[in-house]
Structure 1
Amino acid sequence: FAIAASATVYLATLISTQLHERERHLSALLETTQTVSSTLSLPEVLERLAISAAKALATSRASIRLLDETGEHLHMAVAHGLSEEYQTKGLVDVSRSPLDQEALSGNVVIVKQTATDHRIQYPEQVLKEGIGSILVAPIIGRGSPLGVLRVYAVQPNRFTAGDAHFVLAIAQQGAVALENALAHETLQQADKERAQFVRTITHELRAPVSGAQSLLRVLLKLRKVKLNPQQRDILSRVEARFDF
């Protein structure tokens, strides 16, 4: 009877813990969705996504690396709670990082013990930073990977399968917000280029038009040039149309 009672208590505690964790994850996911969707600024989206992921898993460190145009390297886009030395350790070469190759293929990767995992490209820097375990989730856009979201912990064996599913959901929400921010940034850049083009064309046209306008004014004022009323009216209209 005592054994059965102990087992019952253990199961009840386990179920309660799992339910509490599930509730915390759902609450954090909702908060993350609202947070990253409330802005179209790319730096703000990245910063909020990293902070939300770290906060949700009760850690203090997270980062987002985005693929460059070649798709061969991951550069640090934002880091939360990481030292400057670690952030600037270098680009991640995807071809030399099995960890990121697996993540970019669409899988969530858990590094349980960084000290013995050979998939890490910069193992010495990771250990120096005091990172014991890492969770890596892919950020997948419309059919193609954009980068990876990483969450770090000091303790080894820190992350669970439940954490992996949760961070993947955060990364998926982040991908939508990230693509919206990128599209907004592209539109803003297009507007700037269009405005610059208009300014350039206006400047290029103003000089010859101003010269022609001056000649017309001189022509209209010269007494030696005899113009009938119709000719003078036509020239006056042309001169007026040159005004910007």
Structure 2
Amino acid sequence: MQLGYELIREQIFFRRELRERVFWFIHLRWIAVGLGLLGCWAAFLAGEPLDFTALIAVLLSIACYNMIFLLLGSRMRVETREVGSFIIFAHVQICLDLLALFLILHFTGGSASPLVIFVIFHIVLAGILLSRMSCFLYAAAVILALACMIWLEKTGILAQTSSLLGPEKVIWARFGALGAALLVGAFLITQVVHSLRLKGRELLRVSAELEFTSSRLKALYDMVKEMGGETDLQKLMDSATRLAATIMGVKACSIKLLDEEQRYLRFASTYGLSQDYLSKGAIEVAKSPINQKIIEGAFYAIGSIREKDYFQYPEDIRREGIVSMLCLPLKVEKRILGVFCVYSDQSYHFAEHDTAFFSLMTDLTALAIERLRGELTKAWFFHKAAHQLRSPLHALLSMFKVLQDGYLGELNQKQAEAMSRCQRRIRLMGELIEDLLRIGQRRSETSPRPLKPMNLGEALRQVCSFYMEQAKGKGVSLELEIQEPIPDVLAEEGLLDELLSNLISNGIKYTPAGGAVKVLLAKKGRGWLKLEISDTGIGIPKEELPQLFTEFFRASNAKALDEHGTGLGLVIVKEVLNRMRGSIQVRSKQGEGTTFTCLIPTILQPTES
């Protein structure tokens, strides 16, 4: 299929080149006619004894058939005509031109005409437009025609129109030199044209390969983008099998995952396979030599499936219409997750470049599966751990309240201070648990709640109003600037509150008295909002900036200033922005302050952007 497509492309390319050259030939002919008429006029003024009537008649005949060629050529469409049509068109033109040229030679001195050198031009044109054989045949035909003209003139059969013939030896010597020049010219021009055509074919081949590779990489990018947006493992694998089958141009695709004991392969996701084929259930690795080899790390490609191939259920494969297949291990580093297979209903469907490309696709799919598995495991752990800790923590807080209120007796000053420190620690643990619950709940959502249009400016005013007293109490100025009008964004009320509260409270927390926190909301380009929170606080060490959005990480100077903190606030901010299809950047210099810049798409721009 691909070969046929390339042959058609090549044929159209050279057909277009031939058409352009043929029209170039037609345009040159107008110039030749004009120069011929000008030459006749000059010869007439010089008093040359030529048959001007015959010469002008030949030139006008050339103009007439050139007009016919122009009309015929304009009707020949590149896409609908075969190459043979253009080749015949070129042959007819060259033949008529050579006939006209020999008539002009006859009326301007015969074989001794000074215009005889012009026969070489048509040999050159034949070499450019036609095959090598055609070029040499025209060269031989011209030499033969010249020899006949000389012989006819010498025998008197053809009337001599000039006395420039000279001695016979000189004529034949001139003829020999011209014939040699024609053959050498034909050889040189065909060599050059042949080389150029080979390079043209190679350029077409490379261009086709680049186009094919580019389209596949674009499809692979779309596949990775779609898988990267999935939060459900089953949907991710279904997306991978569907897109892999489409990109590879096959009838079916499957992902089989190993169980924990690595004894069985179970179909985790399929595309294009019947329910009957899947009804056999798990595949026992020990009974499937092919899957054993794949799990050991080798790829397996079968160009034509026959009974000699070792399958656990060969009859099902034949009934499914699978003729060839390509299977690769899903692996992350040295750990095998399962097997990724594509199935074709054509024999020897998979070439070497298909294997290399599918290997890249398999590696990216394995990474996506492993990443999502890790995130889901982490989310599950966060959620469970937070739930397990919440009840005893509340019990501890209740007991501390009983002690503080003096129900079990009055506390002395030392005991009260110790109780106060313990309460602060427990409250910090409570904040950590709440953050863990929020993260765990968000990451474990298989169907996130739909976003709705919300006014970010209004939410920002409410959050700033809430933190205004806290900022005043610490001696920090909190300034808010909103450059109206501000279009709505797609969000949830809880999401906006988490985003704004974390960023603004951090700015106040890590800015000493006398400092300032500035909040700016403005439009950025078409369809985007820029939210900027800058402070004049302690800043962040340069070497610690890459870790800023990592779970439980706190900058060293932040821990020195205030040991209380969960290290999850900016993680929540990043996840909220990801949910809103936004982004965040941070600029900071230790001792001078920090600026967080968030870009958030508005309802005026699709969230896919």
- TM-score, scaled to structure 1: 0.74
Q: How does 1:35-54 map to 2 (within 5 A)?
A: 35-54=226-245
Aligned to 1:154: 345
The unaligned stretches of length 5 or more in structure 1 are 210-215, 217-232, 239-244
Q: Deviations over 1:177-214 (max 9, x none)?
A: 111111111122213433553577689x7xxx9xxxxx
Asked whether the equivalents of residues 29 and 169 of structure 1 are also in contact (C-alpha less than 8 Å), the reply is no
Aligned to 2:249: 58
Distance 1:90 1:196 in 2: 37
1:234 counterpart = 2:402: no
Distance 1:191 1:26, change over 3 A: same
Distance 1:197 1:11 in 2: 68
Distance 1:199 1:116 in 2: 61
Q: How does 1:1-244 map to 2 (within 5 A)?
A: 1=132, 8=198, 15-198=206-389, 234-235=406-407
Q: Secondary structure at the match of 1:59?
A: coil
Distance 1:84 1:200 in 2: 47
Higher relative contact order (CA 8 A, sep 6+): 1
Q: Secondary structure at the match of 2:230?
A: coil
Shift of residue 118, structure 1, vs aligned partner:
1.4
Shift of residue 14, structure 1, vs aligned partner:
5.0
Distance 2:377 2:409 in 1: 42
Q: Deviations over 1:212-234 (max 9, x none)?
A: xxxx9xxxxxxxxxxxxxxxx73
RMSD: 3.3
Asked whether the equivalents of residues 28 and 56 of structure 1 are also in contact (C-alpha less than 8 Å), the reply is yes
Q: Deviations over 1:129-180 (max 9, x none)?
A: 1111111111111321111111111112111111111111001111111111
Asked whether the equivalents of residues 114 and 123 of structure 1 are also in contact (C-alpha less than 8 Å), the reply is no
Q: How many pairs are equivalent? A: 214
**Which amino acid is the alignment partner of residue 172 of structure 1?**
D
Distance 1:183 1:147, change over 3 A: same
Give aligned-pair identity as a percent.
26
Shift of residue 20, structure 1, vs aligned partner:
3.6
Distance 1:162 1:189 in 2: 41
Q: Which has the larger radius of gyration?
A: 2
- TM-score, scaled to structure 2: 0.32
Distance 1:234 1:48, change over 3 A: same
Asked whether the equivalents of residues 108 and 138 of structure 1 are also in contact (C-alpha less than 8 Å), the reply is yes
